[in-house]
Structures are given as C-alpha cells and as structure tokens.
Amino acid sequence: MAYEKELDVALLAVQRASILTRTVFSSHTKGTLTKSDSSPVTIGDLGAQALIIASIKHAFPEDEVVGEEDADDLRKDEQERTLVWDLVQAARLDDISAEDKIGGPIKTVDDMLTALDSGRSNGGNKGRVWALDPIDGTKGFLRGGQYAVCLALMVDGVPTVGVIGCPNLPIDDQAPLDSSVGADADDKEGKGVLFGAVKGEGATSRPLSKGALQGSKKISMKAVPDVSQASFCESVEAGHSSHGDNAAIASKLGITKPSVRMDSQAKYASIARGAGDVYLRLPVNLRYEEKIWDHAAGVVLVQEAGGEVSDAWGKPLNFGIGRTLKENKGVVAAPREIFPRVIEVVKEVLDVK
C-alpha cells in the first residue's frame, strides 16, 4: 500500500496525543489561555502538538509541518510549561514497539519546546508538508462537546494521508447521529474512534486505543437515493458557519430533519462513516480565511469514503498556497452522487443574498 509508513506513524502519533487530550478533558486544570485572535488554547492543545511533531520528526526528519500552535506562551509562562511537560511525559503508548515507531518519550523540556515550535512552515505546493490541528474544536473540548486530533500529509499541496482521532465519538460507526452526539459529550466506555485514509486506498475506522493499532474496518458514506432524507452536520458555533444559510439550503433540498450540530472535524468523520450525510459550512464573515489544518485530514477521509468536498461556490479547496485556504470561502461535503444537487442549491441561496 502507498504511504503505509506515513499512515502508521500518523495513526500512532494521533493515538498517543489523544491519551494526553483525554487526561486534560477529564481534568479541572485545562490551563486555558487566550490567543491574539481571541480563541482559546489549552495545555491539551500545546502538549498534543509537541507530541505529534516529535513523532513526525522522528520518522520523517526532512518533512515540514504546518501546525496551529507554537511555543511562545510556554517559553514565557513557567507554570504552564510545567503543566504541559508533566502531561507530555505521562502520555505513552502501552505497546513498546508502537512507542518506538514514533520515537519514544520526548527527552527534555527543550526538546518539547523545539517540537512545539516546529510547526511554523508556510506550506505551499512543493514536497511533503504535514498539516496539524492538535485539538480541533477547542471550544467544544472546553464545553464538553466533540473535538478532534487531526493530522494530514500533503504532497505537492494535495492532501494525501488523513488521520483524525475523535475521543468523544461513539465507536459504533452506525450509531445514530442526533443532537446528543454533539452536546454533553464524554469519552466514557464505548467512545473514542481513530479514522485514517490514504488517497486512492480507502478509509478506515478503529477504536482509539492506548497501544498498538488493531481492529480497523473499512468505512464509506451512506447512499442517499432521496436527498430530502439526508441528515446534515454543522458547527455548534454560529460564528464559524451560518446556521441561517445552512437551514435555507436544507429547506430547499426538502430536508426536514433538524441539523446535527457538533464541533470540529468530527463532522467530516461522521459523514465519512455514513452516520450523517452532508456537511455544510457556509461563511459568516467573508474576510475569514479557513486554516488548512481545519480541513486537510477531513477532506482525505471524505474523498476516500466516496464523497466530494469543495468550497461554497463549488471551487476545489486549494491547500497549496500557504497556511490558509485564502482562495476559498466556506466548505460543502457530500456523497458524490448528490454533491452536484447540493452545490446547485448552495449557490441559489448565496446568489439571492
């Protein structure tokens, strides 16, 4: 299989980082700071990014990484640095050969800061670049909703390997998708899924474990013979995606089921495994540039499960022009057969605005 080692390393790296995020999710101490764009970041985001970049740099030292976070706060704040260091040391896979494949534990605080700071690549359309969101949906993570640990390898600007860990999603791929999935979520028994996909090779899910990789199943999107029966997912945060436009589109498609709101790329993962059908992310503010780490892994997963993804105007997402998708606005993802109809209606709704 193509990109077998890359997929393995990415799955194990995300699995190890999820051990850390789960510890923080269930702890009172989240060390939440506010970033310059007013969004929150926690010791979970920082620890997970350090662990994942250390894993990538061990296996593929030449590769670049576009990561959401950096070490600026930890270099200034000793208390926060100690909290993250303790978490990073404690997060280990319980299978030694799996842990070895991703380089074993980070050795020193300096190594941790260097790893965390190695996600500053500007991306581009040449060579191998990983896009990393250590906690996607930080607001959901803090609220007790869905969140996801997301990692993708882009080759010459094309998302090629995608891995998403969803500690709060039900393991059962067929579990019905209703509003309870996105609200008051937890990571108790029966929860925690690790998704993976390689371009041209299909998509899989398996239970998120603490050790070696096991039990993978092929996933695919559900057939939707009648688009009015589709269920659609959208953001919880009204500031991230226009609930009004999404509702107008659903209504024009004849959809009467209420939308399922959940945070993070758990939306891409949910439609990829056929729990839901359509993901609508209509822009609220046309000045906002979507970040590549918020979409790269989800796009590979959906494409490999039988779906299509574009921006709200039907334009392909261009991942090869930097850290953001500045040529695109909004995102629409749906099974291939109904995608043209969905985009047609999205454009009708946008045109009358």
> What residue number has its CB nearest to ligand A2P?
235
| 94 annotated active-site | no
What six digits make up the tokens of 4?
Answer: 């077998």
Residue 99 or 263 having the CB closest to ligand A2P: 263
Of 45, 117, 187, 311, which residue is the catalytic one? 45
User: Rounded to the nearest whole angstrom, what is the least distance from the CB of residue 344 to ligand A2P in the complex?
Assistant: 24
94 among annotated binding-site residues: no
Residue ranges in contact with Mg ion by CB under 5 A? 39, 68, 133, 135-136, 138, 294
Of 8, 21, 117, 138, which residue is the catalytic one? 138
Residue at 129: amino acid letter: V
User: Rounded to the nearest whole angstrom, what is the least distance from the CB of residue 316 to ligand A2P in the complex?
Assistant: 19
Residue 68 or 245 having the CB closest to Mg ion: 68
Closest CA to 177 of 96, 271, 74, 42: 271
What's 132's DSSP letter?
E
Residue 80 or 294 having the CB closest to Mg ion: 294
User: Rounded to the nearest whole angstrom, what is the least distance from the CB of residue 58 to Mg ion in the complex?
Assistant: 22
> Strands across the sheet with 260-261, in order?
260-261, 232-234, 278-281, 331-335, 307-310
- Residue 6 interface partner, choices Mg ion, ligand A2P, none, CB cut-off 5-8 Å depending on type: none
User: Rounded to the nearest whole angstrom, what is the least distance from the CB of residue 21 to ligand A2P in the complex?
Assistant: 12
Residue ranges in contact with ligand A2P by CB under 6 A? 39, 68, 133, 136-140, 235, 237, 239-240, 263-264, 288, 294
Cα distances (angstroms) measured from residue 325 to each of 146, 296, 320, 321? 23, 10, 8, 7
CB 304 within 8 A of CB 139: no
Residues 6+ apart with CB under 8 A from 48: 17, 18, 20, 21, 134, 135, 149
How many Å apart are CA 148 and CA 150, to the nearest integer? 6
Residue 16 or 240 having the CB closest to ligand A2P: 240
136 among annotated binding-site residues: yes
How many Å apart are CA 340 and CA 335, to the nearest integer? 10
| 45 annotated active-site | yes
| Residue with token string 């909703």 | 145
- CB-count exposure of residue 109 (10 Å: 0-12, 13-18, 19+): middle
- Residue 295 interface partner, choices ligand A2P, Mg ion, none, CB cut-off 5-8 Å depending on type: none
Detail the residues annotated as belonging to a binding site for Mg(2+): 68, 133, 135-136, 294
Detail the residues annotated as belonging to a binding site: 68, 133, 135-136, 294
Which positions are annotated as active-site residues? Answer: 45, 138
